């Protein structure tokens, strides 16, 4: 019984850390509520689009960033951005 409770507790803890699915057409507010935390940031905001820069991890290691592009409150694209010549960090893909 004690082992069952421990296993169930570990399952609940790990299942809470899994991000919600992201899909094209998703609303920006829904994306923010389900996927954004304090270490994420707005990489770009202008009259054409809003871009969120979100780190992604595999096995506890930071593998880079994902960029999520919103236009008129809807997710229109997502990618890993691009690294400009002479830079070491990714930036949003230009329009």
Q: Residue 4's pLDDT is what?
A: 58
Q: What is the pLDDT of residue 16?
A: 47
The whole-number pLDDT of residue 7 equals: 59
Q: With 50 as the cut, is the pLDDT of residue 83 above it? A: yes
Stated pTM of the model: 0.73
pLDDT tens for residues 18-58? 557 899 999 999 998 888 775 678 999 999 999 999 887 77
Length of the chain in terms of residues written: 95
| Residue of higher predicted confidence among 90 and 9 | 90
Mean pLDDT computed over every residue of the chain: 81
- CA distance linking residue 13 with residue 89, whole number of Å: 32
Q: What is the dihedral of CA 6, 12, 17, 19, to 10 degrees?
A: 150
Q: Which residue has the tokens 């951005």?
A: 81
Q: Beta-strand (E) ranges in the chain?
A: 41-45, 50-58, 61-71, 74-79
**Is the pLDDT reported for residue 15 higher than 50?**
no
Report, in this order, helix, strand and coil percent for the chain, each rounded to 5.
25, 35, 40
Given this model, what pLDDT does residue 5 score? Answer: 60
């Amino acid at each position: 019984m004690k082992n069952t409770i421990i296993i169930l507790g570990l399952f609940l803890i790990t299942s809470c850390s899994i991000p919600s699915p992201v899909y094209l057409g998703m609303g920006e507010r829904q994306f923010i509520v389900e996927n954004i935390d304090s270490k994420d940031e707005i990489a770009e905001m202008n009259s054409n689009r809003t871009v969120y820069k979100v780190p992604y991890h595999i096995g506890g290691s930071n593998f880079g960033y994902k960029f999520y592009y919103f236009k008129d409150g809807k997710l229109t694209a997502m990618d890993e951005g691009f690294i400009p010549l002479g830079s070491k960090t990714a930036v949003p893909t230009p329009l």
